[in-house]
A and B are shown apart, each in its own frame.
Chain A
């Protein structure tokens, strides 16, 4: 964190200059898919360490829901989930990094908003539904947002959180006092040092902080800041519709596989299924691969290497992980959630 400010400034200036230097002619000739294939791997923007969504493990392998979302695209394009590389980006850098072509996809807990969507990027399908929440120590006795009058709140800049913070404070007349940092770590440290009464960010990130950075997670309580649900969605650059489609449908494959009951362990067996939907999904009945410009086995490769959405959710953020976040709105639509599989015909 010490050198991060300077490094970030250099990095950021670099990005702006990259925007200046990349010749648009060279870019228009070659689509992202061709560029990715030539390079041999997909480049994804990743978080700077949000357990459950994107963080390297002890061996240096990236793990997380967002990471697996990126690996699904690698599996679809190359048939190999490991042909993906990750660039850690701060909240500030992420959009510019995508716009300037430093990364091919941005699956990084990024909330889908109008201003962002209209400014040079396209959001694909939400891969996680979240809400903004406060985390406070249980001994304060606070359990709801409207009890927070006059509280100090640690906020991280470069996110939709700060706008929601300001809106909640005004709407409920809470006179909240923000303490704002530009780095995730500084924000969390300030909260744990006692500078703030509450930490505000996505509920999933709070669950991640509580699970990984506290000695006794039970001392903390997380509650919603408002009743809005944020759709965290992987995004791509404007101007390449084929790539947009590939990223969108690579994620769709994960939720469709859950809908169809295809898992990592039964995918080989399913190739002999009689259900035409399953056969079309797995590419036994051909056509979907060609339409996207991919191998016909693209969807079966994704499930073979990563499992379906339920499996990915469980091992990264669900009960198979320290975070233990309820499926809630992230259930399939048929189970009462917001994840709606679109037809694979």
Chain B
């Protein structure tokens, strides 16, 4: 036997060496592809006279943002506009996650109820919401809010100081000025109400649309989790003389959560990503601000890159948090 032949033959047959070789080839090919794309992009952009870089972030944005959680005016920078858009996305996402979870939980309980009416309503809600496209639902709610409500001059006034118009819902809101609290009431100007707290049709349509749509999915996840707990657990709880609500809270839910958390993580991340659709009803989320920035500056690659990084960070952050919670809730096997 030729020892050299044996050595190479041995390497080929060695699974570890073989897989290491394959992985190296794939990794090199991937890096080469990315390098080639990046190289071409930079070349093409340079050839077309498009400047590459993030310098534009420091310039004044000059465009308006219709509403925001953080203070914004058109003299602020593109970077701040980006942060303001992110603030809107996070605020809307958090609110939707909380509300959709509550509504989803109620839906799940309704679908498991012994009352046929509650069961029917729960099933109808879930089927309607998850079988129609989200964009259609958003547009539906927006049309309802803008076409269904009166002009500010004929505003509905259900409670003193509360006005409901096609421009939004206006309610009195405390304003802190000179260390004193004062209730500020909405007042009607030539065109609109001003003062107090305003809930715009855009925000309302986005919130209602996304909460209802997401609640249907959340409800099914929770129902699946509850159903996954063996029937004997209920019976055991009842045999101990515990009331239904206590059985659900103390025995069923802790076990159901183990089934619920992993799909719920995906669902929450979906909610965050779905907020980008709010653009069709004019709510300025981060995708909206990015698109405007790209149009004003022509920095398409940079804008898309920033948007992708932001969503990646949000989604991975959410995943890590939920995974940690999942580990904490997991059954400890001794």
The reply to whether chain A is a binding partner of chain B is yes
- A interface list, Cβ under 8 A from B: 1-3, 5-6, 12-13, 15-16, 19-24, 27-28, 91-92, 95-96, 99, 115-116, 118-120, 140, 148-152, 155, 157-159, 162-163, 165-167, 169-170, 175, 177-183, 186, 190, 193-195, 197, 237-239
Q: Is B171 an interface residue (CB 8 A)?
A: no
Q: Is B280 an interface residue (CB 8 A)?
A: yes
User: Would you call B48 and A3 a contact (CB within 8 A)?
Assistant: no
- Identify A150's interface contact among B47, B65, B189, B280, CB under 8 A: B189
A183 to B146, CA, bound (A): 17
Expressed in whole angstroms, the minimum distance between the Cβ of B215 and any Cβ of chain A is: 22
User: Would you call A194 and B50 a contact (CB within 8 A)?
Assistant: no
Expressed in whole angstroms, the minimum distance between the Cβ of B151 and any Cβ of chain A is: 6
Interface stretch, picked from B233-241, B254-262, B293-301, is: B293-301
User: Would you call B48 and A180 a contact (CB within 8 A)?
Assistant: no
Leading 9 A-B pairs by shortest Cβ distance:
A166-B74, A119-B298, A120-B48, A120-B50, A238-B49, A151-B191, A150-B189, A158-B295, A20-B41
- Chain A positions within 8 Å of B41 at CB level: 19-20
User: Would you call A21 and B282 a contact (CB within 8 A)?
Assistant: no
Give 22 CB contacts A-B under 8 Å: A19-B44, A19-B45, A92-B294, A96-B298, A99-B298, A120-B49, A120-B298, A140-B191, A149-B191, A152-B167, A157-B291, A162-B64, A162-B292, A163-B296, A179-B282, A180-B65, A180-B66, A181-B282, A182-B279, A195-B166, A238-B47, A238-B48
User: Would you call A19 and B201 a contact (CB within 8 A)?
Assistant: no
A sample of 4 more A-B contacts (CB under 8 A), given A115-B298, A170-B74, is A2-B136, A23-B40, A99-B48, A115-B297
A195 to B282, CA, bound (A): 11
The interface centre, meaning the residue of A3, A148, A157, A167 with most chain B CB atoms within 10 A of its CB, is A157
A3 to B304, CA, bound (A): 21
- Identify A157's interface contact among B45, B288, B300, CB under 8 A: B288
Q: Is the interface of A mostly helix, strand, loop or mixed?
A: mixed
- Chain B positions within 8 Å of A177 at CB level: 66, 192
A15 to B295, CA, bound (A): 14
Q: Is B248 an interface residue (CB 8 A)?
A: no
Q: Is B197 an interface residue (CB 8 A)?
A: no
- B interface list, Cβ under 8 A from A: 37, 40-41, 43-45, 47-51, 62-66, 73-75, 133, 135-136, 139, 143, 146-147, 151, 166-167, 189-192, 194, 200-202, 277, 279-280, 282, 284, 288, 291-292, 294-298, 300-301, 304
- Chain A positions within 8 Å of B45 at CB level: 19, 120
Contact status of A119 and B288, CB under 8 A, knowing A194-B166, A197-B191 = no
- Identify B135's interface contact among A3, A12, A27, A151, CB under 8 A: A3
- Chain B positions within 8 Å of A22 at CB level: 40, 44
Contact status of A99 and B47, CB under 8 A, knowing A169-B64, A194-B151 = no
- Chain A positions within 8 Å of B291 at CB level: 92, 157-158, 182
Q: Name the residue of chain B whose CB is nearest to the CB of A169.
A: B64
User: Would you call B143 and A20 a contact (CB within 8 A)?
Assistant: no
User: Would you call A92 and B295 a contact (CB within 8 A)?
Assistant: yes
User: Would you call A19 and B191 a contact (CB within 8 A)?
Assistant: no
Expressed in whole angstroms, the minimum distance between the Cβ of A290 and any Cβ of chain B is: 28
Contact status of A5 and B277, CB under 8 A, knowing A20-B41, A165-B64 = yes
A182 to B289, CA, bound (A): 11
A117 to B284, CA, bound (A): 27
Contact status of A180 and B194, CB under 8 A, knowing A195-B166, A238-B48 = no
User: Would you call A20 and B40 a contact (CB within 8 A)?
Assistant: yes
User: Would you call B133 and A193 a contact (CB within 8 A)?
Assistant: no
